[in-house]
Structure 1
């Protein structure tokens, strides 16, 4: 397992420690979890933006009424 070190002010460390305690996590678990969640959210947003741009360029959606007709309902 690797170790990553980063610098924090005393106030930032105190805040992070309180949040770790509040969530029942170690400081290391909190940092790892939140950093990974943030990076995954960034990937999700980039994927959404890319696909939305493609959708707007080539919109193949149909209305509810058209779908009902197509399904014979």
Structure 2
């Protein structure tokens, strides 16, 4: 497993320790989960923005039922 070092101030360290205790997680688990969640949310928002911009260019869409059939997800 890889190790990453993050430098923080003493006040930031105290806050992070308090948040880890509040969340019932170790400091490492807190930083890992919150960082990954935040990055995943930012990525999802970016992909959504790109898809919306693409849609606005030609205003063409596909019904959900057609997409479900295309990917074999229909009943």
What is the alpha-carbon distance in structure 2 between the residues aligned to residue 44 and residue 58 of structure 1?
22
Gaps of 5+ in 2: 62-75
Structure 1 runs of 4+ aligned residues shifted over 3 Å read none
Q: Which residue of the partner structure matches residue 13 of structure 1?
A: 13
- Say which structure, 1 or 2, has more relative contact order (CA 8 Å, 6+ apart): 1
Q: Which residue of 2 aligns with 1:2?
A: 2
Tell me the residue number matched to 1:23: 23
Residue 42 of structure 1, CA deviation? 1.3
Q: TM-score w.r.t. structure 2 length? A: 0.77
The whole-number CA distance in structure 2 between the counterparts of 1:49 and 1:16 is 32
Partner of 1:44: 44
TM-score under structure 1 length normalisation: 0.79
Give the secondary structure class of the aligned counterpart of 2:13. Answer: helix
Give the Cα–Cα distance (whole angstroms) in 2 for the partners of residues 10 and 58 of structure 1: 53
Bigger CA radius of gyration = 1
| 1:70 corresponds to | none
How many pairs are equivalent?
61
